Amino acid sequence: EVQLVESGGGLVQPGRSLRLSCTASGFTFGDYAMSWVRQAPGKGLEWVGFIRSKAYGGTTEYAASVKGRFTISRDDSKSIAYLQMNSLKTEDTAVYYCTRDPITMLHDYWGQGTLVTVSS
Amino acid sequence: EIVLTQSPGTLSLSPGERATLSCRASQSVSSSYLAWYQQKPGQAPRLLIYGASSRATGIPDRFSGSGSGTDFTLTISRLEPEDFAVYYCQQYGSSGTFGGGTKVEIK
């Protein structure tokens, strides 16, 4: 059974940093691209970024709203994807989901999400 | 960036009725890279349809997708109680943008 479990969310002040983790199980993690998608309270879905599998270079792409501030990485030996978030803004407050992507940005499995609240 | 516009914003229907949800793109979606997701309150989204018309694993056949280019439709042939939720379309050919969502509520 495919499982994705996010962790690392919480309350953080504007301008600070936070790192989210996504621990995967039930599939060969290294074969898939992984994405992060967020959802602000009461709002719709926003794609944040993805990381390709090593077979496709392990490269990353980001939404304009987070480019230069957020970084996605992966550790295939541990089946974990990371989202490093720097220079956080109040508008980054959201539930952050990690997803498995059989095609980049096609999200066939989702984690349960972790809430990040940016507030002073 | 491709903008996806979903309509209507809210659809009020009764169980057993047919639901037709629309998703219009600001420019052509390459290779029909259009997906639909369902989200219930307090839950993560679930993939329903990909490639505009292919059902994801385990999705009942009352859900169907159609369309190409800039106009896409999700149809639920007969609404079951568990189908009342918010539905999002998404294009995954470039930038992964989502539509604003359509809420299907019980009339």
Q: Is A110's CB within 8 Å of B90's CB?
A: no
Task: With a cut of 70, list the residues of chain B below it in pLDDT.
Answer: none
Task: With a cut of 70, list the residues of chain A below it in pLDDT.
Answer: none
Query: In this structure, are residues A17 and A88 in contact, taking their beta carbons and an 8 Å threshold?
Result: yes
**Beta strands of chain A (E only): which ranges?**
3-7, 10-12, 18-25, 33-39, 45-51, 60-62, 70-75, 80-85, 94-101, 109-110, 114-118
Counting Cα atoms < 13 Å in the Cβ hemisphere of A9 gives 18
- The tokens for A112 are 């349960």
Q: What is the pLDDT of residues A86-96, one digit of tens each?
A: 999 999 999 99
Q: Which of B1, B47, B100 sits opposite A108 (nearest CB)?
A: B47
Q: Find residue A6's DSSP bridge partners.
A: A22
CA B44 to chain centre: 15
- State residue B1's pLDDT score: 87
- Could you give the CA distance from residue B104 to residue B95 in angstroms, rounded to a whole number? 26
Q: Which of A45, A63, A112 sits opposite B88 (nearest CB)?
A: A45
